[in-house]
C-alpha cells in the first residue's frame, strides 16, 4: 500500500517551491497578467527550468532531474496555491512522460530541450464540448512517406504559445499520435478568452502535411502511446487543484478570524465552524488521494488508472466546494474583483473540465470497480 504522507524530501521540496513561487509568482502576478492581456510568462518558466522543475520527469540521461511523479505533484500543488501560470502540466508532465517512452535521438533531443526550458508542448485532444479523447474525427490521410491532417481540435491548453503540438488523429490503421510544430503550414490557432486568464486555443488543421517521422509509435497505437502521459497530466492537475482548494480554504479561515458581526468574530459561530471543519476533512482526504496516485505512477504506472481518476474526481469536487464556501463565507466581498477568491473560483472551474470532469472520472471509477 502506498505511503500516504509526504516524505522528508517532498516536504523540503514543497517548502522551497512555496518560497520561490510566493516571490516570483504570487496571485498578484496573475492579476497583472490578466489586466495587461498576457497569458504566459516565459521569464518565470526559465526560472523554473533553472531550478530543475521543467525536467522533473525527464530522465537524467537526457539531462533532466527525474524526480518522479510524486515530486511533480508537490510542485503542481504549490503552483495551485499561487495560481501560477506556466506550461508545467502540458510540457514538463505530459509531453515529458510521453516522449520518455522512446529512446531514439529525436525524442532524447526534445527531452533535453524540455529540461532546459527551450521547448514547450500542448496536447490537442478534445473535439467536442466534453473530454472524450477516444472520439476522434480529425483525419490523418496517408500520403507518400507522410500524412495530411484535416479537422479541428477544441480547448487546447497552451495552444497559442507552445512550440509543438501533440495531436491525436484517426487514420485507416486507427488512432495515431503526431508531434508537429505549432507553426506548421495550414495550422491555425484561434485564441480563446478563458475565465482563468490562461493560454488556450481551438486549432484548425487544413491540409497540414507532416512527415512520417512525426508519427509517435506504430500506426493505430496512438491512444496506447498517449495514455501514460494523459494519466500523468490528470494526476498532476488533481495536485494543482488540491493546492488551489487549500489556498482558498486558508483565505476563508483567515477571514473568519478577522470579520466581526455583533461585536464578535464570525469564526466563533458554530455553524461556520462546522462547515470549515468539514471542508478541512475533504481537503485532507483529497490530498491523500493525490499522494496515492503519485506513488502508484512512480511504482506501477500501468496500474494507475483507478488511483488517478479517484484523485481527479475528488480534487475537482473538493475545489468546487472550497471556492463556493469561500465566496459564501466572505459575503459580498467574495463576489468582488478586488478580492482574490474570484481568481480561485475561475481556475477551479476550468481545471474541472480539463482532462475530464467529475462525471467522467467518477464514471471510470465506477466501471473499474465493477459497478
Read off the pLDDT of residues 153-181 as tens digits, 9 standing for 90 and up: 999 999 999 999 999 999 999 999 999 99
CATH 1.10.540.10 residue spans of the chain: 8-93+100-119
pLDDT for res 168: 97
pLDDT for res 178: 97
Beta-carbon contacts of residue 116 (< 8 Å; ≥ 6 apart): 49, 54, 55, 63
* DSSP of 311-332: HHHHHHHHHHHHHHHHHHHHGG
Q: Band of the pLDDT at 2, cuts 50, 70, 90?
A: low
pLDDT at 1 over 60: no
Report how far apart the first and last C-alpha atoms of the chain are (Å, whole number): 23
Is the distance from CB of 216 to CB of 147 less than 8 angstroms? no
Measured at the alpha carbon of residue 171, what is the angle toward residues 170 and 176, in degrees to the nearest 5? Answer: 60
Q: Band of the pLDDT at 257, cuts 50, 70, 90?
A: confident
pLDDT at 148 over 60: yes
Across the chain, mean pLDDT equals 94
What's the Cα-to-Cα distance from 221 to each of 98, 169, 170, 180, rounded to whole Å? 13, 11, 10, 17
CATH 1.20.140.10 residue spans of the chain: 223-368
pLDDT for res 224: 95
pLDDT for res 138: 97
Predicted TM-score (pTM) of the model is: 0.95
pLDDT at 142 over 60: yes
In this prediction, residues 179-192 reach a mean pLDDT of 95
Long-range interactions of 268-276: CB distance < 8 A, separation 24+: 272/329, 275/325, 275/329, 276/249, 276/252, 276/325, 276/329
Q: Decide yes or no: CATH 1.20.120.610 for domain 223-368.
A: no
The set of cell numbers assigned to 102 is: 522512446
Q: Which fold has domain 122-220?
A: Butyryl-CoA Dehydrogenase, subunit A; domain 2 (2.40.110)
pLDDT for res 171: 95
Proportion of the chain above pLDDT 70, given as a percent: 99
CATH 2.40.110.10 residue spans of the chain: 122-220
pLDDT for res 260: 73
pLDDT at 83 over 90: yes
Q: Band of the pLDDT at 261, cuts 50, 70, 90?
A: confident
Q: What is the pLDDT of residues 339-365, one digit of tens each?
A: 899 999 999 999 999 999 999 999 999
The superfamily CATH assigns to domain 8-93+100-119 is Acyl-CoA dehydrogenase/oxidase, N-terminal domain (1.10.540.10)
pLDDT at 317 over 70: yes
Residues 92 and 30: their CA atoms lie apart, in Å, by 21
pLDDT at 300 over 70: yes
pLDDT at 189 over 90: yes
Is the distance from CB of 196 to CB of 350 less than 8 angstroms? yes
What's the Cα-to-Cα distance from 222 to each of 43, 140, 215, rounded to whole Å? 33, 12, 9
pLDDT at 69 over 80: yes
* DSSP of 206-242: EEEEEEGGGEESSTTBHHHHHHHHHHHHHHHHHHHHH
pLDDT for res 234: 98
pLDDT at 57 over 90: yes
Residues 21 and 340: their CA atoms lie apart, in Å, by 16
Amino acid at each position: 500500500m502506498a505511503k500516504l504522507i509526504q516524505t522528508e524530501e517532498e516536504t523540503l521540496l514543497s517548502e522551497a517551491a512555496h518560497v520561490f513561487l510566493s516571490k516570483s509568482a504570487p496571485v498578484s502576478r496573475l492579476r497583472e497578467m490578466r489586466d495587461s492581456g498576457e497569458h504566459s510568462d516565459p521569464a518565470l518558466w526559465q526560472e523554473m527550468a533553472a531550478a530543475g522543475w521543467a525536467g522533473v520527469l525527464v530522465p537524467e540521461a537526457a539531462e533532466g532531474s527525474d524526480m518522479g511523479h510524486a515530486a511533480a505533484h508537490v510542485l503542481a500543488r504549490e503552483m495551485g496555491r499561487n495560481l501560477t501560470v506556466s506550461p508545467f502540466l502540458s510540457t514538463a508532465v505530459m509531453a515529458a512522460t510521453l516522449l520518455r517512452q522512446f529512446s531514439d535521438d529525436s525524442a532524447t533531443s526534445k527531452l533535453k530541450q524540455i529540461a532546459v526550458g527551450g521547448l514547450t508542448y500542448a496536447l490537442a485532444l478534445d473535439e467536442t464540448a466534453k473530454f472524450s479523447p477516444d472520439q476522434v474525427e480529425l483525419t490523418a490521410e496517408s500520403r507518400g512517406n507522410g500524412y495530411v491532417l484535416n479537422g479541428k481540435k477544441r480547448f487546447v491548453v497552451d495552444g497559442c504559445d507552445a512550440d509543438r503540438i501533440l495531436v491525436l488523429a484517426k487514420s485507416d490503421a486507427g488512432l495515431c499520435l503526431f508531434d508537429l510544430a505549432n507553426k506548421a503550414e495550414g495550422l491555425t490557432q484561434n485564441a480563446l478568452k478563458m475565465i482563468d486568464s490562461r493560454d488556450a486555443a481551438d486549432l484548425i488543421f487544413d491540409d497540414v502535411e507532416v512527415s512520417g517521422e512525426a508519427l509517435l509509435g506504430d500506426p493505430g497505437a496512438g491512444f496506447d502511446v498517449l495514455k501514460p502521459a494523459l494519466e500523468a497530466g490528470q494526476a498532476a492537475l488533481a495536485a494543482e487543484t488540491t493546492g488551489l482548494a487549500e489556498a482558498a480554504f486558508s483565505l476563508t479561515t483567515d477571514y473568519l478570524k478577522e470579520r466581526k458581526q455583533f461585536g464578535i468574530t464570525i469564526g466563533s459561530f458554530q455553524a461556520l465552524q462546522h462547515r470549515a471543519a468539514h471542508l478541512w476533512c475533504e481537503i485532507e482526504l483529497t490530498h491523500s488521494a493525490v499522494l496515492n496516485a503519485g506513488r502508484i505512477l512512480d511504482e506501477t504506472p500501468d496500474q494507475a488508472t483507478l488511483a488517478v481518476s479517484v484523485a481527479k474526481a475528488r480534487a475537482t469536487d473538493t475545489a468546487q466546494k472550497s471556492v463556493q464556501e469561500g465566496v459564501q463565507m466572505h459575503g459580498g466581498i467574495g463576489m468582488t474583483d478586488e478580492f482574490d477568491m474570484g481568481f480561485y473560483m475561475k481556475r477551479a472551474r476550468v481545471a474541472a473540465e480539463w482532462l475530464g470532469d467529475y462525471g467522467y472520472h467518477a464514471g471510470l471509477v465506477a466501471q473499474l470497480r465493477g459497478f
